[in-house]
Amino acid sequence: MTRKARQIVRIDEEKCDGCGACVPACAEGALRIVDGKARLVSETYCDGLGACLGNCPRGAISIEERPAESFDEEAARRHVERSSRADAPAAEEASCCPVVQPVRVAHPAKAPDGALPPLPPLPNFPIQLGLIGPAAPFLRDADVLLAADCAGYVFPGLRRFLDGRVLIIACPKLDDAGAHLQKLTEILKRSTVKSITVVRTEVPCCSGLVRLAEAAAAASGRDVPVDVVVVRIDGEVKEL
């Protein structure tokens, strides 16, 4: 493959302590922790935009211009899909969460008496995508909140996004992606769902939930807008 000068990630191994904070920040899956250090998996997966820069507490990552293979967006997408769906023992590193570290999750503020504020009731049941009937009455003219399973635990503020929305949860990594795509497409075809808001965590495998929603919307033949909320693993919203 032809190499040409372009912007690409540089990792200072002397500064890198292998914390892994940069890994989920790269949506293309270009970074991985190998032998206790962050490594560039492939030059073709790095877009050189530097989304990982602000996530390194050691300042070990920078962007430099040097001869490198061209960024291949389609190859990066396939790489992320392969990593997110890997479930064989031989692919243990790819199938496990790329970031394993203790985090302090932000919790809702307690009332003066020490009690946590009450949570509003769920707007519907069931909430698992695989269990919801495509013609369920609660889907009529609904705005849907499609949340990753782990987002509900990582993000204590998830319920505030439920105001006026129907909740559906799924895991793009461990569930049957094909079955989920078929079910969500059928829901959009047979119901009058108006919009989908996806709540995902920052880890790369969670991006599959966004692709699922977008693919289902396209396959349904309806103009259903898809918005995305990304939550950091410390429980804070990363972007809206």
CATH number, domain containing residue 220: 3.40.50
State the Cα–Cα distance between residues 212 and 82, nearest whole angstrom: 15
CATH number at 86 reads 3.30.70.20
What confidence category does residue 80 fall into, taking pLDDT thresholds of 50, 70 and 90? confident
Say whether both 91 and 135 belong to one domain: no
Say whether both 134 and 233 belong to one domain: yes
Among 53, 73, 95, which residue terminates a domain?
A: 95
The pLDDT tens digits of the residues spanning 84-142 come to 655 333 334 434 454 444 444 455 555 556 565 566 678 888 999 999 988 889 999 99
Q: Is the pLDDT of residue 239 over 70?
A: no
Count Cα neighbours of 186 within 13 Å in the Cβ-side half-sphere. Answer: 14
Structure tokens at 192: 């009058």
Q: Is 30 a member of any domain?
A: yes
- Average pLDDT estimate for 11-26: 84
Task: Report the relative pairing of strands 195-201 and 226-231 from DSSP bridges.
Answer: parallel
The pLDDT tens digits of the residues spanning 166-210 come to 999 999 888 888 899 999 999 999 999 999 999 998 887 788 899
Say whether both 145 and 57 belong to one domain: no
pLDDT of res. 109: 53
pLDDT of res. 76: 87
State the Cα–Cα distance between residues 83 and 173, nearest whole angstrom: 9
- Average pLDDT estimate for 67-92: 72
| Burial of 223 per CB tally in 10 Å (0-12, 13-18, 19+) | exposed
Q: Is 54 a member of any domain?
A: yes
Q: Is 18 a member of any domain?
A: yes
Q: Of the ranges 21-25, 165-169, 227-231, which one carries the lowest mean pLDDT score?
A: 21-25
Nearest to 163 by CA among 143, 146, 140, 191: 143
Say whether both 38 and 91 belong to one domain: yes
What is the domain extent for residue 139? Answer: 129-239
Say whether both 68 and 155 belong to one domain: no
Q: Is the pLDDT of residue 28 over 70?
A: yes
Say whether both 134 and 229 belong to one domain: yes
Q: Is the pLDDT of residue 41 over 50?
A: yes
Q: Is 121 a member of any domain?
A: no
Mean pLDDT for the chain overall = 82
pLDDT of res. 108: 53
Q: What is the secondary structure of the chain as a DSSP string?
A: --EEEEEEEEE-TTT-----TTTTT-TT--EEEETTEEEES-GGG--SS-TTGGG-TT--EEEEEEEEEPP-HHHHHHHHHHHHH--SGGGHHHHS-S---------PPPPTTSPPPPPPPPSSS--BGGG--TT-GGGTTPEEEEEETTHHHH-GGGGGGGTTEEEEEE-TTTS-HHHHHHHHHHHHHHS---EEEEEEESSGGGHHHHHHHHHHHHHHTS---EEEEEE-TTS-EEE-
Q: Is 102 a member of any domain?
A: no
C-alpha triplet 28, 34, 36: angle, nearest 5°: 125
Count of domains for the chain? 2
Residue pair 71/47 in contact (Cβ under 8 Å)? The answer is yes
Q: Is the pLDDT of residue 1 over 80?
A: no
Q: Is 133 a member of any domain?
A: yes
Q: Is the pLDDT of residue 7 over 80?
A: yes
Q: Is the pLDDT of residue 143 over 90?
A: yes
